[in-house]
Amino acid sequence: MKKIRFMDVSFRDGFQSCFGARVKTEDFLPALEAAVHAGTDNFEIGGGARFQSLYFYCEEDAFTMMDSAREIVGPDINLQTLSRGANVVGLVSQSRDIIDLHAKLFKKHGITTIRNFDALMDIRNLAYSGQCIHDAGLKHQVVVAMMGLPPGLHETYCHTPQFYLDKLKEILDADIPYDSVAFKDASGTTTPAVVHETIKGARKMLPEGTIIQFHTHDTAGMGVACNFAAITGGADIIDLSMAPVSGGTAEVDILTMWQRLRGTEYTLDIDHEKYLEVEALFIDQMYKYYMPPEATAVNPVISFSPMPGGALTANTQMMRDNNTLHLLPDVIKNMREVVVKGGFGASVTPVSQFYVQQAFANTIQGDWKKITDGYGKMVLGYFGRTPSAPDPEVVRLASEQLGLVPTTEDVHDINDRNPELGIEYNRSLLQKAHIPQTDENIFIAATCGAKGIAFLQGDCSTGIRYKADIAVEIKAKTKAEVVAAYHEAHKHDIHQKEVTHRLEELFSKPVPVEAAPAASAAPKVISMAGNFTVFVDGSPFNVTFAEGSSINPQGTPQTSAPAVAAAPAAPAVAAGTPVLAVMPGNVFSISVKVGDDVKEGEEVAVLEAMKMENPVKAPCAGKILSITVAKGDTIGMGEIMMTIG
């Protein structure tokens, strides 16, 4: 019987997929220690979104987290992190000195192996980063990035077994040093047949004894089948997770896969009773965190628009922040065209985020009205070669809007010439901010930008969502207000019966249908007009509410709104030309103050949405008369931010 090894990805990809990567270190260390005692010797512990997220949302240092994990597991356990080739652990590609520093620092802080991928499968991006990983004394796991294409695209080569095997041959021909090979499908959309044929072909190509690892998510419901297809094709290791961060957008559960292999010629060779105990402990440790309903739901729509499991929840978390979650079905629908016209790069970070950002922009501003920075640079070649040529019209628009010409130059050469990249530039930023110029701080500044500098200055805030956050609202507001607010927040993502059930859990007793207040305090009516996707027991349904439909605070539908008092007059706005928000988001920065003179087209603020920083520019020349927003505010598209006169 062949023993199949597994890597437990609960503490990196599991967190990213289910909690948007927003989990405190102290809360998962007991489960990590218990998993080691149960027999796990192979963990994914950091990198990917679990690097930036610690600085952006958790008020923690990623290097301290790595040190703590190593101390818990001891010297012999494999601790693995995820790297994005030339991007290392950020969305922006880096110069050679930062890529080299990444490998040295992760070795210093207890990492054993770095899994290294490039979403575009441009082998040049794997070659230099892989050499740095090897030279730092780490094990290098080189990756072939996979993705299933939506049906009906008439693409006969990209993302087929032959395409993947050709990419593997390019890796071998480039003499990139590696210790193992991984086939990684972040979207969970590759079919079992393609997985099997690819890994079977790779087994024939690779030298005898080469370790092959397979990674997929269960987002589209194919995780178990794809894992088994990989095993029968010749994979040695598969990636699995533990409840509560398993299934759905995350990886298949360890115990589920153990059950699948029972009675076959393969086994995970685990003590299932021990793992039942570890999962129970882990569930208890994670109970205080709010998990969005889409995190563990199987969504067959993903097969038609490849949204990675690790990106889905992170993006829905941001959409909740920006009050745009109701746009998710349209964003996913628009991803299909974005993937095709972008050149078929694998839907994994950072390319998956470029896809989401462009699909979001197409949804908000109209098809191809605005080319986002990341997507535009990708189609122009500034992150490497795409698997196939991007759409010429999109390339033209990107070139015009970004002011860049298409290129086929090596990304590293482009970035080495950029005066705002590299160790010396980031050292100067630290010096200017009076921050110690350590290697770690230089790397944080390079990969986390202004937010990294802010963290190092002590200017940071939590973005973690706890269940108890709702309890705070309960103490501050009346029960009716909390019920209405909770329904408002969740009206687009889950069935109203489930919302009521959650409210009952919050109040620890049934939520009654209360008598309507007096006319002077009429109940809040939540408009439900539009097309939405709701989840019932994990299954998506398309629902259309006609204009006039609504949900009252108790969650019961009504066909017409009761009479309400006239809305109060809008607050007075200073005379002049309004500066409007270009899209819904958070106010990231304001670069002017009242009384400043500005030129037409001058940047006056920056909005952050979906990991994009969107400049807001003055529509005319004049003097800033008023500013009606503050840094950190959440605003809707078209809201007035300031006036110019």
The confidence score (pLDDT) of residue 610 equals: 61
Give the whole-angstrom CA distance, residue 166 versus residue 576. Answer: 60
Between 510 and 180, where is the model more confident? 180
Residues 73-112: tens digit of each pLDDT? 999 999 999 999 999 998 889 999 999 999 999 999 999 9
Residue 501 pLDDT greater than 60, yes or no:
yes
Position 223 confidence tier, pLDDT thresholds 50, 70, 90: very high
Give the whole-angstrom CA distance, residue 179 versus residue 353. Answer: 29
Residues 11-48: tens digit of each pLDDT? 999 999 999 899 999 999 999 999 999 999 999 999 99
The confidence score (pLDDT) of residue 569 equals: 44
Give the whole-angstrom CA distance, residue 352 versus residue 307. Answer: 7
86: three-class secondary structure by DSSP: helix
Which residue type sits at 502? R
Which residue type sits at 231? I
Give the whole-angstrom CA distance, residue 125 versus residue 144. Answer: 12
**Structure tokens belonging to residue 385:** 């070669």
Residues 541-572: tens digit of each pLDDT? 444 444 444 444 334 444 433 333 344 444 44
Q: Where are the domains of the chain?
A: 311-457, 577-644
Give the whole-angstrom CA distance, residue 144 versus residue 164. Answer: 7
What does CATH list as the number for 577-644?
2.40.50.100
Region 220-227 average pLDDT? 95
Residues 274-312: tens digit of each pLDDT? 999 999 999 999 999 988 877 888 878 777 777 666 566
Strand partners, 527: 550
Give the whole-angstrom CA distance, residue 314 versus residue 511. Answer: 31
**Structure tokens belonging to residue 345:** 């790069």
How many Cα atoms are found within 13 Å in the side-chain-facing hemisphere of 628? 17
**Integer angstrom CA distances of residue 567 from 528, 551, 570, 574:** 19, 19, 9, 21
Taking all residues of the chain, what is their mean pLDDT, rounded to a whole number?
A: 84
Complete DSSP assignment for 185-235? ETTS-S-HHHHHHHHHHHHHHSPTT-EEEEEE--TTS-HHHHHHHHHHHT-
Which residue type sits at 38? A
The confidence score (pLDDT) of residue 482 equals: 56
Position 584 confidence tier, pLDDT thresholds 50, 70, 90: confident
Strand partners, 626: 643
458: three-class secondary structure by DSSP: coil
Q: What percent of the chain shows pLDDT beyond 70?
A: 81
Residue 502 pLDDT greater than 60, yes or no:
no
Long-range pairs, 467-473, Cβ under 8 A, ≥24? 467/287, 467/288, 467/289, 467/290, 468/288, 469/290, 470/506, 471/506
User: Phi/psi at 411 (nearest 5 deg)?
Assistant: -55, -40
Residue 540 pLDDT greater than 50, yes or no:
no
User: Phi/psi at 385 (nearest 5 deg)?
Assistant: -80, 130
Which of 120, 232, 112, 240 has its CA nearest to residue 180? 112
Residues 590-605: tens digit of each pLDDT? 989 999 999 998 889 9
Give the whole-angstrom CA distance, residue 467 versus residue 147. Answer: 34
